[in-house]
Amino acid sequence: MTWAEIRAEIFRRLEENAVTPDFHDVSINALITEAYGDFSALSEWNEVNQDVTLINGTTYYDLLNTLTIEPLTVRSVYNNQIKRFMNPTTYQELDHNIDRWEFPTGNPQWFFIRGVWHLGVFPKPPTTGSPGSVKVFFKAVPAPPSLPADDALSPGFDHDFHEALVFYCLSDMLEDDRETGKALKYYGLYRKLVAKMRKRALEGHNQPDLTRYVGD
Amino acid sequence: MPYAFKTLAQLRTAVADKTGDRTFRIWTSAEVNKYINDAYQDFCADTLVLWIRGINFLADDLAGVAVYPIISGEGSPTLIQLERMFTNARQIRMPPISLHWLQQLDPQYLTRLGSPEYYVTEGEAIGFFRKYPIPAVTSSVPYFVEYVPRPNPLLADGNTVLVPNHMAKALVYGALRRCFERDSPGQDLRLAEHYQKRYELYVEITRTRKSRILSTYRTRVMGGRGTFKRGGFPPARPIRPPDWDTHLA
CB contact under 8 A, B2 and A30: yes
Q: What is the mean pLDDT of chain B?
A: 80
Local confidence band at A121 (pLDDT 50, 70, 90 cut-offs):
very high
Chain B: nearest CA to A12, how far in angstroms? 23
β-bridge mates for residue B93, sequence order: B86
Q: What is the per-residue pLDDT for B229?
A: 46
Residue B158 has pLDDT above 70, yes or no: yes
Span A141-199, pLDDT tens digits? 998 888 888 888 999 888 889 999 999 999 988 888 888 888 889 999 999 999 999 88
| Candidate from A87, A117, A187 with C-beta closest to B219 | A87
Residues 36 through 65 of chain A touching chain B, CB cutoff 8 Å: 37-38, 41-42, 60, 64
CB contact under 8 A, B209 and A73: yes
Q: Rounded distance, CA B112 to CA A43, Å? A: 54
Chain A: nearest CA to B19, how far in angstroms? 7
CB contact under 8 A, B214 and A88: yes
The DSSP 8-state label assigned to residue B139 in this structure reads -
Chain B: nearest CA to A17, how far in angstroms? 23
- The interface predicted TM-score (ipTM) is 0.84
Within 8 A of A34 by CB-CB distance, chain B residues are 1-3
Q: What is the per-residue pLDDT for B235?
A: 46
| HSE-up (13 A, CA, CB side) for residue B23 | 1
Amino acid at B50: L
Q: What is the per-residue pLDDT for A168?
A: 94
Within 8 A of B2 by CB-CB distance, chain A residues are 30, 34
- Cut 0.90: pTM above it: no
Q: Rounded distance, CA A182 to CA A88, Å? A: 44
Distance of CA A33 to the CA centre of its chain: 15
Local confidence band at A56 (pLDDT 50, 70, 90 cut-offs):
very high
Chain B: nearest CA to A205, how far in angstroms? 14
Residue A203 has pLDDT above 80, yes or no: no
Polymer length of chain B:
249
CB contact under 8 A, A113 and B213: yes
Q: What is the mean pLDDT of chain A?
A: 86
| Parallel, antiparallel or unpaired: strands A47-53 and A133-140 | antiparallel
CB contact under 8 A, B190 and A184: yes
Looking at the complex, does the CB of residue A179 fall below 8 Å from at least one CB of chain B?
no
Residue B226 has pLDDT above 60, yes or no: no
Residue A208 has pLDDT above 70, yes or no: no
Chain A: nearest CA to B167, how far in angstroms? 9
Span B41-93, pLDDT tens digits? 999 989 988 888 877 767 788 999 998 887 654 445 677 778 888 887 656 78
Contacts of B157 (CB under 8 A, 6+ apart): B7, B8, B9, B12
Q: Which residue of B has its CA nearest to A139?
A: B209
3-state secondary structure at position B225: coil
The angle that helices B165-181 and B8-19 make with each other, rounded to 10 degrees, is: 50
